[in-house]
Structure 1
């Protein structure tokens, strides 16, 4: 639809009077996406069966569902009609073709104002003047809690990805685990040499812009691989136990379980849904689905002895 001029003006300008953020009428509300309208009159409507939601919690946290992806972050409304979102941390799921997931998530960093009209919420961005229309919904009961945040409407795979990702992030920050620039450079060089030896280096066919984009992606991948390996090594050093074979390298499964037990006991997370809890823990308790390294074997003793950027 094309929105009335008075609504667009209200959205784009916002209000000037001051109000406390905690008194915002948005606090404790939940919404579902109706459509996104760009300034060029392009309208994007959610695909049938997909879910796009926005939950603005009383504590200033926001929970977003964008089809197969989930996002968490913060929100603030320092004056009536004004609205800003902090950085949104998202899962890395790959949604099917035609999904609005990336487009929907990309809007929030640019949102600056809102209007509620006919019980619908309209958000306006400062980038291209997009208008995001949402309808009210009742928030569902939380299935889990992570660092005090309620998690809703997630399946077992998403729940495991969110909980492990946040816990590992927190652990890495506590332990000061980072990927150093020289480590990233060394791993990139090893990967480049491996591709060249296999005849898979096709960068010469790319434009300068495409090469730069590829280089950024490769650096991010190398950084993530190194950091993940260091987290695994630190967990194994702390908790010990058996190691399994995985595509991205050795994984200290017993250490994962001990770490999760400790985090759950400390109140970092809890899973309220029994079926989801059973599915979540199965990966760490069902030994039949894993390929363990033989105790005392070279594979086990060398699993975390040589970093991947030095092999």
Structure 2
């Protein structure tokens, strides 16, 4: 009996492995299999398919939104001044670190602002790393899907992948009326006057 059971398993196990490795999504030649989805299929598909598609779209259109050197210089100066006003006793930051931080935040604001304008505006999502063009990004993904840039073959898994943009994010969702301020590079860092009004530093 044991020999028969082992013989049966030798036939069954390859077929089960094949079923687990069914391709459920594709992006630029990279296949995502069902066995790779784990316990959070929507999150996995966003990490492996949707977010890379957004990133590559932005990189392909970098000339449309990338800030010019003068804008970067102004952002660095604004960051330096804002940091000094918020904590006058803090030692100066390394210039390379200043430029890295300011450029990273400015790049995010510029890219998200461009997406917001290009894909019909809509609500914003306040995130720790900056404001996201929430509704506009959702429209971009539908366009990329329609163009065949990525494919998620199972309708249920597609719903799971898009769940992030259908979820109620509560107070973190901001109205479109705040877009002009949120995506204004000149307002990226708080001014000394704003910090003073907030009570962080004494009036001089």
Q: Normalised by the size of structure 1, how large is the TM-score?
A: 0.43
Q: Is the 8 A contact 1:242 1:252 kept in 2?
A: yes
Q: Which has the higher contact order (CA 8 A, sep 6+)?
A: 2
Please say if 1:268 is aligned against 2:149: yes
Alpha-carbon distance in 1 for matches of 2:173, 2:45: 25
More strand by share: 1
- Residues 1:202 and 1:303: Cα distance change in structure 2 (over 3 Å): closer
- Tell me by how many angstroms 1:237 deviates: 1.4
Alpha-carbon distance in 2 for matches of 1:294, 1:188: 28
- Tell me by how many angstroms 1:197 deviates: 1.8
Aligned twin of 2:115: 235
- Tell me by how many angstroms 1:149 deviates: 1.9
Among 107, 110, 132, the alignment partner of 1:251 is 132
CA deviation vs aligned residue, 1:65-94 (integer Å, no higher than 9, x gap)? xxxxxxxxxxxxxxxxxxxxxxxxxxxxxx
Q: Provide the alpha-carbon RMSD of the alignment.
A: 3.5
Aligned twin of 2:193: none
Q: Where do 1:46-57 residues align within 5 Å?
A: none
Unpaired runs of at least 5, structure 1: 1-137
The number of residue pairs the alignment matches comes to 165
Please say if 1:279 is aligned against 2:167: no
More helix by share: 2
Secondary structure of 2:123's match? coil
Alpha-carbon distance in 2 for matches of 1:284, 1:293: 14
Alpha-carbon distance in 2 for matches of 1:285, 1:309: 28
Unpaired runs of at least 5, structure 2: 1-17, 191-204
Alpha-carbon distance in 1 for matches of 2:51, 2:25: 13
